[in-house]
Amino acid sequence: MHSRAARPGDAETIAGIYNEGIEERIATFETRPRVAGEIRAWFEDGHPIVVVEDGGAVISFANTSAYSPRECYSGVAEFSVYTAREARGCGAGTLAMEALISATEKAGFWKLTSRVFVENEPSLKLLLSLGFREVGVHEKHARLDGIWRDIVVVERLITSNLKP
């Protein structure tokens, strides 16, 4: 396995992996499957996106997006990480997040943040192992299939980019 910067040509595979997470209802409030064109649009804002390949096939990805349009938050990025169902548990998610942390550091970001379903213990365990901390729980943050869901807010400072 190895990581690399994602390319627009990876959009179809990334959409397939993301759609598995949507179908499973374990990682996102989104319910509508995505198509490659929507994923290609992620590349337009210049935020880091990475993939993990195994045997030439993309099996995991991690992406960032703007936390807020306000200038004061320009160094804060929201992130997501997804791994193909058949590749979970082999370290691909860890490799994707390590690559994403490195890419965001190089891009000048000073913080990564995300929201994780409280039940998504594998993701929380992964993120805590990589230096993320739990900020708190947002109760009844949104509904998924008509059911209120709680989320854990996580963050990780990229200390090398914290300037006095």
Query: 15-68, pLDDT tens digit by residue?
Result: 999 999 999 999 999 999 999 999 999 999 999 999 999 999 999 999 999 999
Residue 164: the pLDDT is 75
DSSP string of 49-72, one letter each residue: EEEEEETTEEEEEEEEEES-SSGG
Q: What does the domain layout of the chain look like in residue ranges? A: 2-161
Contact (Cβ atoms closer than 8 angstroms) between residue 111 and residue 64: no
User: In this model, does residue 163 exceed pLDDT 90?
Assistant: no
Which pair of structure tokens corresponds to residue 50? 């990475």
Which pair of structure tokens corresponds to residue 32? 């509508």
> In degrees rounded to 5, what are phi and psi of residue 86?
-75, -10
CATH topology of domain 2-161: Aminopeptidase (3.40.630)
145 — pLDDT class (breaks 50, 70, 90)? very high
Query: Alpha helix locations (H) across the chain?
Result: 11-24, 36-40, 92-106, 121-129
Decide: helix, strand or coil at residue 37.
helix
What's the start-to-end Cα distance of the chain, in Å? 38
